[in-house]
Structure 1
């Protein structure tokens, strides 16, 4: 399931949304940058024909679009909450202008007073714009300018970028209230739930396979059979609790492997949009074990089951303690965050790119290990000795593979590392792992 979402707004906010949306593999963003709110209406009308829903950068543009152009797709916007106010207040405090009082628009007086109370700044003088909720930028500029000229307030806090620019031109101290990442995440989650594709997939069957890494070694460390059986029961109870949170059905396939069924909507919510698996962290902290998980989507239970087995194999090939998802179109998502933190959230890798990599001699095991390193450490550049160690091959074999992958456009030479003695070492970048290539 790929949902095309149109994102419209000024450059600063849109770039922030584009950064956050990488952690939502389901979305395919179509971005349009505007210079002011007036352009939004026309672009939204044009873009609505090609996307399933729209996300606008602010409430003012949202209101204009809803009033002027009745669109057939859901239209959402990124609201401004108290979270964006914290950063502006911090900057105001650093500049020493908070003591002179603040003038605020866009936010309600209740939100401003509550935020100041949380920061123990109750003595700060506040003047909040009490005009219409969707006033023109000129009205807001006049309000802040009046407060500054009368000496009532020493800094203006505005939620409209155009107002901030005009105040700067008028040499009125100001801070632009930019939406926080949490505001954007909440907006994207709401947008996802409203999409028609998402609603249609809510009840689709999801098959999951869980395998305990190095279970044989864990058993050998136990002093008695009683301890082994107790460990199995503890693991089973932990896995059962997780599947229960998914409203799923669990069955054991043996001492170290489990199979479960749930629905796509529930799984997506519990993983935060395919980001993290809390089960792995619980198991690691409670019993010192790591888990490998494979999740399969499909138009039938049989297809979902086969995809789950493929995904589990990729998790094991990556070295364990990972989770991959194989969707019905063979798109690969992962690795998801398990017990170890993931630094980079990777975009879905389409089936054509996976096949292209495998045709170039990049086996499933090699690909899984590279994806895991990219997600956990953001690493896509290697020297040949480092790559050989990761793939568990000889340096000579690593050289041969790199030449093959360079010929197929998967790898490029990023630079040279100078050595105290001997020839410089080449640094190879796996360009197909970057977001644009994915």
Structure 2
């Protein structure tokens, strides 16, 4: 499995309020190419100082909001890509639900950072178009004082009963003045898009975009599948159908495919295209298509390398790993020999959880578990009936460090997703704790 401490990665500075930095750090676990350097501030004015502080240690910067991004650009002379996470209407949905549930949507709302179109669209989608809304239409990068004054004026005039702001400093100022407010936080999808944009802007990433990638595809237990067909004609038709689906998939990668005979295929593509088509090494849609159409699973090995020979060797090692796990898996071996995987062999979460009650998904995500982690845990439960893990097993499954696994377990224990179910004695050293995912065990 990939260990961030031993993989050659792109160092990225993550700067913002602690709440958003923590949220971004959870999302960045799904980006194995990044080694994050997080720095938190209490006020946007601190952003340029933190950017200068970390500039010699990172290749790209990602700021939490537009204002801190502008302050960094205006007050520093950094020669590296600097990005920010935009505040979108996705954050407004959650904020409005919160305000509605707490009875604060009385007379109207005042909103900054978002455009009038974003606000109107959100109110329409929530079927509360009758709610009065005052939207700040001043300069794009207004001062904290101006934004605070805008909300304060609307509140005291009786036009609005609650303010929505994209700036932590404005939210703090309004709270100090006793004005009800909600701080608009970026959604997980907003953060993912920003991280993808930051990744593609780095020199390291651009240098790897055209790197050759070798892939191997093997049909799991094809002999057994063939025996289930009534005659040789059906077997040959199955082979042609599989070949067509593999060919279509490789075509989507702008790759080159060759049939190695029997049940194995070899293909070539580039790293940039493969990363985009897999959503950053997350999912292999081909496996889902073949399984749904023919009830067949695939083992896939992907190899990265500085030469075609090295990439081919890595692909064979990755294929061996996929077979060792029982098939229906995809692994990647990077140019440094480190392993990434297993990738999801279907679309994330929604398809993996097709037979799972929606309340389970919501319960886990509300308690701080990302959909990607939930998908992997449910996949293991479905295949092996597993709901208990030692910390190193969980780290391997989620493709994170043991330290990160400890941090997540503490969070999930606090939110009643996990409990300590026992201890495993070891010949030397302290006993290892066994963690039970209680919400999986109950279902």
Q: Same fold (TM over 0.5)?
A: yes
- Distance in 1 between the 2:313 and 2:215 partners? 10
1:338 aligns with 2:345: yes
Once the two structures are superposed, residues 246-305 of structure 1 have per-residue CA deviations (whole angstroms, 9 ceiling, x without a partner) of 000111112211100001110011001111111111111111111111000001000000
1:174 aligns with 2:197: no
Which one has the largest radius of gyration?
A: 1
**Bigger RCO (CA 8 Å, 6+ sep):** 2
1:374 aligns with 2:393: no
Structure 2 vs 1, CA of residues 11 and 373 (structure 1 numbering), >3 Å: closer, same or farther?
Answer: closer
SS in 2 for 1:48: helix
1:21 to 4, 8, 28: 28
- Distance in 1 between the 2:226 and 2:64 partners? 55
Q: Which residue matches 2:432? A: 413
2:104 to 86, 89, 97: 97
Task: Give the TM-score normalised by the residue count of structure 1.
Answer: 0.80
User: Where does 1:134-153 land on structure 2 (aligned, <5 Å)?
Assistant: 134-153=141-160
Q: Which residue matches 1:279? A: 286
> Greater CA deviation, 224-233 or 159-168?
159-168
Instruction: Say if 1:253 and 1:259, in contact at 8 Å, map to a contact too.
Output: yes
SS in 2 for 1:98: coil
User: Where does 1:322-333 land on structure 2 (aligned, <5 Å)?
Assistant: 322-333=329-340
Q: Which residue matches 1:199? A: 206
Provide the aligned length of Structure 1 versus Structure 2: 370
- Distance in 2 between the 1:85 and 1:142 partners? 21
Instruction: Say if 1:345 and 1:375, in contact at 8 Å, map to a contact too.
Output: no
Instruction: Say if 2:85 and 2:191, in contact at 8 Å, map to a contact too.
Output: yes
Instruction: Say if 1:296 and 1:308, in contact at 8 Å, map to a contact too.
Output: yes
Please report how far the alpha carbon of residue 375 of structure 1 lies from its aligned counterpart in structure 2 after TM superposition. 4.2
- Distance in 1 between the 2:258 and 2:393 partners? 32
Q: Which residue matches 1:312? A: 319
SS in 1 for 2:128: coil
**What stretches of structure 1 of length at least 5 have no aligned partner?**
347-368, 382-398, 415-426, 430-438
Q: Which residue matches 1:288? A: 295
1:31 to 30, 33, 38: 38
Q: Which residue matches 2:232? A: 225
Q: Which residue matches 1:65? A: 72
What RMSD over aligned residues (CA atoms) do the two structures have, in Å?
A: 2.4
- Distance in 2 between the 1:373 and 1:79 partners? 33
Please report how far the alpha carbon of residue 30 of structure 1 lies from its aligned counterpart in structure 2 after TM superposition. 0.7
1:8 to 15, 31, 41: 15
SS in 2 for 1:23: coil
